[in-house]
Amino acid sequence: MKDWRKILEKITDYKWRLPKTYKSNMNVDGIIFATEDLLNDIIEEGEALEQVANVATLPGIVKNSIAMPDIHWGYGFPIGGVAAFDPENGGIISPGGVGYDINCGVRIIKTNLTEKDIEKYKVKLADKLFDYVPSGVGARSKFKFSDKELENITEQGLKYLSKLGYTWDDDYNYIEEFGSMPGADFSKVSQTARDRGRDQLGTLGSGNHFLEVQIVDEIFDEEIAKKFGLFKGQVVIMIHCGSRGFGHQIASDYIREFDKVLNKYGIKLVDKQLSCAPFNSKEGQDYYKAMVCAANFAWSNRQLITYQVRKAFSEVLNRSAESLEMKILYDVAHNIAKLEEFNNKKLVVHRKGATRALPKGHKLLPPAYKDVGQPVLIPGDMGTYSYVLVGMKNSIEESFASSCHGAGRVLSRSKAKKIVQKTSLLKKLSEKGIVVRAESDATLLEEAPEAYKDVSKVVEAVELAGISKKVSRHRPIIVVKG
């Protein structure tokens, strides 16, 4: 086993350097944000640190290959990785740096309800949400869209859904890219991807995706919480899902395409899973345009789930969603590549299992959050807590305006299934007042709390680094999983 303690250089108690001398072909250092505790977990796995070094070998990488405290092994790039590439200097775009689930992300919907208001409705709500939001592998939508509508959704996102009546007037203001990322081109998406995605809009999927009804358990910053519309005891709904089979197929298609042109562009990989193409090449641009389609698909997916959540609450509580003030707090991607400006230079920033974290005053912030900063939404596990953070000024310099995205796994899915007992898990969750609805036992066991790092430690590490800071903590009371 490699002695990473001798290789890593301590910069601070929460920041470590993986020097570019570690591998002869590294172009930049690796930087890992982690407390001593979390670093032990990261070292124990080992493969994720190797992937940080591998990413540092890619053409056109700028500054550092960055790892968040929730880092763990992924396809090519580590999950919890951030890397920026200069397109004017041979910088690449890589599907492995985005992930198969393009624009997997998180949305929070607020309400004016408290736990007491819904206590007697919890089981009914759980059943209704489970019915209205299909989950599980290959789940099929309750919405039906034609090929032309799918094209419009993927190219226009929320702009098109609003014409169909699935949005409230100001929903778009509280979504990254306003729910309609420019640059999409449906002609770059294969027929296979179209066929896989057409019937999956409005579905959760499986794995770590979920819909949770949560209670705001603690407020850490009263002033910012007030700006976000959060208060202690409040009922909120968190949605975590992505672009389903549509995004997965796009990733698969373009990984195959990129594999064919590596020699053409003189790109030598230390790991074949890092397959890439220059961002400004035809192949790079084709993938980017297809990826944007998948990003808009994912925002539309979460919007259609929001539509169903509002409907479910309205029917169970016999009140309109408007009277319940079911507004979006924010929606942010954590698997995406975007052209963003840093120090007057446009860079292709890959965030894979990492969340954008803009500080106050940033030009890309929605008007409502201009003077506080961007909400950073951090799901934990289904038995403990999730957090809302806010982006801080330090994020620009330290991490290309990025933060962590969740708790991060410590047990593989297969290992979790071996050691977790369903009866015991459900008993523990029930004792905490958590109602669970799951499409499969396997997913339930894979996603048990013990499969994840302590999210509070992950959040502490990014707060110490000045990347983002805590605003509120939420505990689940209803969990819907695939």
Which pairs count as long-range contacts for 317-321, CB under 8 Å and 24+ apart, including other chains?
317/113, 317/117, 317/118, 317/121
Per-residue pLDDT of the chain (482 residues; tens, 9 = 90+): 789 999 999 999 999 999 999 999 999 999 999 999 999 999 998 899 999 999 999 999 999 999 999 999 999 999 999 999 999 999 999 999 999 999 999 999 999 999 999 999 999 999 999 999 998 887 788 899 999 999 999 999 999 999 999 999 999 999 999 999 999 999 999 999 999 999 999 999 988 899 999 999 999 999 999 999 999 999 999 999 999 999 999 999 999 999 999 999 999 999 999 999 999 999 999 999 999 999 999 999 999 999 999 999 999 999 999 999 999 999 999 999 999 999 999 999 999 999 999 999 999 999 999 999 999 999 998 888 999 999 999 999 999 999 999 987 777 778 877 887 888 888 888 888 899 998 877 888 888 888 787 899 999 999 999 999 999 999 999 999 87
Structure tokens at 5: 């303690």
Structure tokens at 362: 């940033």
d(C-alpha 472, C-alpha 232), whole Å = 9
d(C-alpha 198, C-alpha 112), whole Å = 34
- Do residues 249 and 193 lie in contact, with contact meaning Cβ atoms separated by under 8 Å? yes
End-to-end CA distance of the chain, in Å? 36
Residues with catalytic annotation? 405
At 401 the pLDDT is 98
CATH number at residue 78: 3.90.1860.10
Whole domain around residue 115: which residue ranges? 4-481
Domain count, the chain: 1
d(C-alpha 63, C-alpha 252), whole Å = 29
Radius of gyration of the chain (CA): 21
At 93 the pLDDT is 98
